Amino acid sequence: MSPAAHARDVDLAQRVARLGTETVFAVSAEAAALAVQGKTIYPFHLGDLDLPTPENIVEASLAAIRDGKTTYCPNAGIPELRDALAADIGRARGLEYTRENVSVQPGGKPVIGKFLLALMDPGDEVLYPNPGFPIYSSLIEFLGGVAVPYGFREGAERFDLDLEAIERRITPRTRLLILNDLHNPTAAECSAEELERLAELALEHDLFVLSDEAYFDVRFQGASRSIAALPGMAERTVILYTFSKKYAMTGWRLGAAIGPKPVVDVITTLNVNMESCTSHFTQYGGVAALTGDQAAARAMMATLKGRRDAALAALNATPGVHCLTPETTFYVYPNVTGAVKLTGCDGHESFRKLVLERTGVSFCTRLHFGPALEGEDQYYLRLAYSGVSTAQIQEGLGKLKALIESYT
């Protein structure tokens, strides 16, 4: 019998049937298969960066390795990094945190599961964004909760949070709210009023909030806001922080949970149970990132802004496509309803495949971020421009434009 046949006989835990994944990896595999056949691929599908980690961060970690920081370290992270995170995150949000509020993590992603393990009982309802990072609903359901989606509405200038849906879906079983302001995939950002209304709802219904702030520092102008800074919210909010995006450190796996001490202490006990500690020497890189020269991070944002502008110019010149201008994240989320209709495609997936096969432009669609909600009748793509050069953006999206024009 082959190993695969053996695998089918395994009596897996029932909860495994509820475990989701990130389907973007399937898009990657499809694009890679076409590349092997010699096709030029324009990789807009994966939210990873093709830019190097700043040199001072690399040097600090290498020095730490040479200095013997290759042992276990405290479960909550090294004190220097916890202090630096408390100071940086507090300063940027107008809040006071100390190291007691910080638990260092191997990336931002682990904060999601640990937050749920600390605060969600089986049967509890959790509000989460859809479209949204697919790990929220995967882990809510996997851990026995009930995932309750809320969406966004496209306006003339911005995506609005569907606050009515959020209010309507709060029940006596609703315990938690997951908010990803500066949002993947739409790049939407809450207005001050939206944040205030969410905070009111959280206080009124005694909800605890996971504020996924993965893109808090990835912005081209203006200043980010955190729901944690609103009155009464710091004591009921856990912030997901990551070094991945701001410092081009996705593969380092370095992030943190920041929040009220009783919850952060549980998260640290989960660290003990799951990985003991985050890689010791990478944490020195984190200290250098936060306390060192920010010139490289600024230069990275300038590069990303050039790419955003190139992507917006090409998309908004394409028939049947329009795209709002986001000031944050490295995603654009164009509405392609007209283009889908022009090509005669019957939905997101057939349009994605047509474009990939004909032009090599590879991207995710709305459906990679959750099933469409009732009443949705528009088609959207998510293009990540973090891993494609401006020249590639112009070339690839030029091909997309020519393809759609051939149908007009």
Instruction: Give contact residues for ligand PMP (rule: CB under 6 A).
Output: 47, 107-109, 133, 180, 184, 212, 214, 242, 244, 250, 255
Asked if 128 and 178 count as a contact pair (C-beta separation under 8 A), the reply is yes
What is the rounded distance in angstroms from the CA atom of residue 266 to the CA atom of residue 285?
Answer: 25
Nearer of residues 180 and 268 to ligand PMP, judged by Cβ:
180
Nearer of residues 82 and 401 to ligand PMP, judged by Cβ:
82
Smallest gap from Cβ 255 to ligand PMP, in A, equals: 5
* CA-wise closest residue to 318 among 392, 403, 381: 403
Nearer of residues 108 and 360 to ligand PMP, judged by Cβ:
108
Q: How many residues does the chain have?
A: 408
Nearer of residues 242 and 278 to ligand PMP, judged by Cβ:
242
What is the rounded distance in angstroms from the CA atom of residue 88 to the CA atom of residue 202?
Answer: 25
Nearer of residues 271 and 318 to ligand PMP, judged by Cβ:
271
Smallest gap from Cβ 298 to ligand PMP, in A, equals: 21
Asked if 76 and 104 count as a contact pair (C-beta separation under 8 A), the reply is yes
Written in H, E and C, the secondary structure of 365-403 is EHHHHCCCCCCCCCCEEEEECCCCCHHHHHHHHHHHHHH
What is the rounded distance in angstroms from the CA atom of residue 184 to the CA atom of residue 128?
Answer: 12
Smallest gap from Cβ 132 to ligand PMP, in A, equals: 8
Torsion, Cα of 195, 198, 203, 209 (10° steps): -90
Smallest gap from Cβ 358 to ligand PMP, in A, equals: 28
Smallest gap from Cβ 401 to ligand PMP, in A, equals: 27
Smallest gap from Cβ 161 to ligand PMP, in A, equals: 15
- Beta strands of 268-363 (E only): which ranges? 331-332, 361-362
Nearer of residues 42 and 133 to ligand PMP, judged by Cβ:
133
User: What separation in angstroms does the CA of 2 have from each of 10, 11, 12?
Assistant: 14, 17, 19
Nearer of residues 242 and 268 to ligand PMP, judged by Cβ:
242
Smallest gap from Cβ 212 to ligand PMP, in A, equals: 5
Nearer of residues 106 and 306 to ligand PMP, judged by Cβ:
106
Residue 66, both tokens: 């040479």
Smallest gap from Cβ 106 to ligand PMP, in A, equals: 8
Under DSSP, is residue 332 helix (H, G, I), strand (E, B) or coil? strand
The set of residues, in sequence order, having a beta carbon less than 8 Å from that of 300 and lying 6+ positions away, is 49, 51, 248
Nearer of residues 152 and 345 to ligand PMP, judged by Cβ:
152
Q: How many CA atoms lie within 13 A of 334 on its CB side?
A: 27
Q: How many CB atoms lie within 10 A of CB 51?
A: 15
Smallest gap from Cβ 19 to ligand PMP, in A, equals: 17
Q: Name the residue whose CB lies closest to ligand PMP.
A: 108
